[in-house]
Amino acid sequence: MTATLSSPGRPGTTSLDRRAIAGAAAGGLAFGLLMLAPALLSTYFVEIGFKLLLYIVLAEAWNLLAGYGGLVSLGTSSFFGLGAYVTAGLLNQSGMGLPLALGVSALAGMTIALFMSRGLFRLRGLYFTVGTLALAEALRLLVVNVPWFGGASGLFVTVDLPDTPELFRFAAGLLALATAVMTLATGSRFSVLLRAVRDDEDAASQVGVRAFRIKLAAFLAASALVAMAGGLQAAKLGAIEPYGSFGMQWSIDPLAIVIIGGLGMRLGAVIGGAFFVAIGELLADYPELHVAITGVVLILLIRFAPRGLCGLAQALIKRRSAPGATREAGA
């Protein structure tokens, strides 16, 4: 996480380059495997896999905002629902293909994010969280009440849609995009500025950081990713309706995944997503119980492992590899 500055005294560049190449190779390999996966897996696992990929994308976006930017959002569902509605609308009305519709959804997500940012970013800390919650609820109520988008009952997508293996590949592509965005945003100079804003926004602006723009950049990126995920979900269901597409669960789940996996941890979304989807499958027949148990897990992790499963693993590895050796801060 702190690899953005090569430490003095160590010839930084070569090891950094090597790490970047290794990372890119591993990422490419994983992506290749994902693209092949639908052909190899049973229908059930393709279904699960699609869900998992979608959740990881949402969680990555949420982690970018909350973990790296300190912007704890409860408004993921606003952008998810927006993406779903825009994608479905475009597919029905314009004859656009799915990739293009998703792209436009991303733009729509960014537009709303840009529009809302003025108000939302005036709110700091907990108030930002409450503000995003209000935004999500307001959008949902709006869509329920105005008659244009099928009102409370929603709409069906009337054109032919790609089958699940194809959508799985779309989701894999979206995850690749999310990974690229996250790598750029968390491993670059931008991440230094973003974390500075997270730690102390006023102090950051005193050293020249345009905090608003930095937060906005993260917010735009996250909103675009979430909107595209929403679009894919609409394509998967072949329908949109306000209670589902704008449902609170789309705000809750990414948050739960990241807290389970590890807030501000690069692998948090993936680990948390796998855990979350697994629990969800085990309790598939008891959706309420699933959510309630998620709540219990959340509370337990916040209390006993605030850095999630990744943080736990890290602490374990550290203890293994360096028994007794404590890297204390000397005076």
Q: Using CB under 8 A as the criterion, which residues of the chain lie in contact with other proteins when the complex forms?
A: 2, 4-8, 12-13, 72, 74, 118-120, 122-127, 129-131, 133-135, 137-138, 141-142, 144-145, 189, 192-193, 195-196, 198-200, 202-211, 248, 252, 255, 259, 288-289, 291-292, 294-296, 298-299, 302-303, 306, 328-329, 331
Min. distance of Cβ 18 from other proteins in angstroms? 16
Nearer to other proteins, 186 or 294 (CB): 294
Q: Considering the complex, what minimum distance in angstroms separates the CB of residue 118 from other proteins?
A: 7
- Distance in Å, CB of 101 to other proteins, minimum: 28
> Which of residues 226 and 255 has its CB atom nearest to other proteins in the complex?
255
In this structure, are residues 231 and 86 in contact, taking their beta carbons and an 8 Å threshold? yes
CB of 44 to other proteins, least distance (A): 26
Residue 161: closest CA among 108, 79, 226, 240: 240
Provide, rounded to whole angstroms, the least separation between the CB of residue 38 and other proteins: 33
- The three-point CA angle 178-180-184 to 5° equals 115
Whichever of 97 and 125 has its CB closer to other proteins, that residue is: 125
Angle CA(218)–CA(103)–CA(29) in degrees, nearest 5? 75
Which of residues 206 and 321 has its CB atom nearest to other proteins in the complex? 206
**Least distance in Å: CB of 219 to other proteins?**
14
Please work out, in degrees rounded to the nearest 5, the angle formed at the alpha carbon of residue 235 by the alpha carbons of 233 and 238: 105
- 13 — phi, psi (to 5°)? -60, -50
Q: Which helix (H) or strand (E) holds 240?
A: strand 239-240
**Which residue's CB is nearer to other proteins, number 194 or number 227?**
194
Nearest approach, Cβ of residue 119 and other proteins (Å): 3
Q: Residue 160 or 202: which CB sits closer to other proteins?
A: 202
- Least distance to other proteins, CB of residue 45, Å: 27
Provide the minimum distance between the beta carbon of 2 and other proteins in the complex, in angstroms, as a whole number.
6
Q: State the DSSP H helix or E strand holding residue 155, giving kind and residue range, or none if neither.
A: strand 155-156
Closer to other proteins by CB, 278 or 302: give it: 302
Q: Which is nearer to other proteins, 30 or 133 (CB)?
A: 133
Q: Is 21 or 292 the residue whose CB approaches other proteins more closely?
A: 292
